[in-house]
Copies of this chain bind each other. A is one copy, B any other.
């Protein structure tokens, strides 16, 4: 199996991109990644996307995007795993290069959630839940996360504002990210006064509905020097790729407060990379809701059960903290264009590992971990990158 490296990255701004259609947003990210890698063609394109069928009446998405990017003819497929579609596409891209099927692969994440015509975005997001045993009964996706958060607060006797630190950190980092949807810091007061969406989740606990695309160029590590010689940025090696699943329906879990798939995939990833927790210089986690940040820290072994929120409380998660999180704003502030998020996390990790994170740079970062969660914990992929 060949080792795989990233030699190019690209991203569109995240936001309500009403003047750009899905293929145009994808073009923005992919053409930037190709220019960054110095390539004008590729063997394959894998597009992580969740909602193009539900929201923009467009399946067959990867072939469409390939053609729009001047890549007509190449191998192309869309990969879907709810909000983990981006990382799932990356994983397919890694397999394509590792197997020797392809030498130059583009992985993109793409989602167009706003400015849709006659579509219900909340209903679209609920397709990440179990249609027959959850969504059919009217529970929304934020509602499911609210049930989990409520249970967490009850079980561990956690106060309502305990999760504020995750949101404050995300917004502080997003303020320095020119591609973030929200570039304004918030305070504890902002958090406490935020309107409630689904008790106890408030507006500052929740990531936004938005559009965006991000892209990567993957090559075999043994070829990486061809693309990075004389280039401002070195290659970043993929040290580990691991995936695990759980029941989609929250009520079917053995323990709704434990992300079993995060535990499994992070444990496998660390074993593949041959590193322990102490080696991880930053963690791009899936803070779609603040409760998911806490549960992710606990399942991955960075915090004891019931204590994930304390990390944010004690402000250990900034770029110079003990375990920097969401270093470019995370899902909360950079935004969460669902199928694209997993690829944004990798683009941002590459920036950190190559000294390109500007004011949010984690000093001396050499190993980063990214975790992308589909549904309320049913599909979880963990990648570890290094230089």
Residues of A in contact with B (beta carbons under 8 Å apart) = 1, 21, 23, 44, 50-54, 56-64, 66-67, 72-82, 88, 91-92, 95-96, 98-101, 123-124, 126-132, 135, 243-248, 252, 260-261, 264, 374-375, 378-379
Contact = CB atoms under 8 A, between A and B. Distances in A.
11 contacts: A53-B124, A59-B82, A60-B127, A64-B130, A64-B248, A73-B245, A74-B245, A75-B91, A77-B81, A79-B79, A80-B80
Given A67-B247, A77-B80, A53 B56 contact: no
A328 to B, nearest CB: 26
Contacts of A243: 44, 75-77
Most B Cβ at <10 Å: residue of A58, A123, A129: A58
A61 B80 contact: yes
Nearest to A64: B248
A262 to B, nearest CB: 12
Given A21-B132, A53-B53, A95-B92, A245 B375 contact: no
Given A81-B77, A92-B92, A95-B92, A248 B60 contact: yes
A62 B77 contact: no
B54 A245 contact: no
Contacts of A124: 53
**Interchain residue pairs A-B with the least CB separation, the first 4:** A53-B53, A99-B99, A60-B82, A59-B127
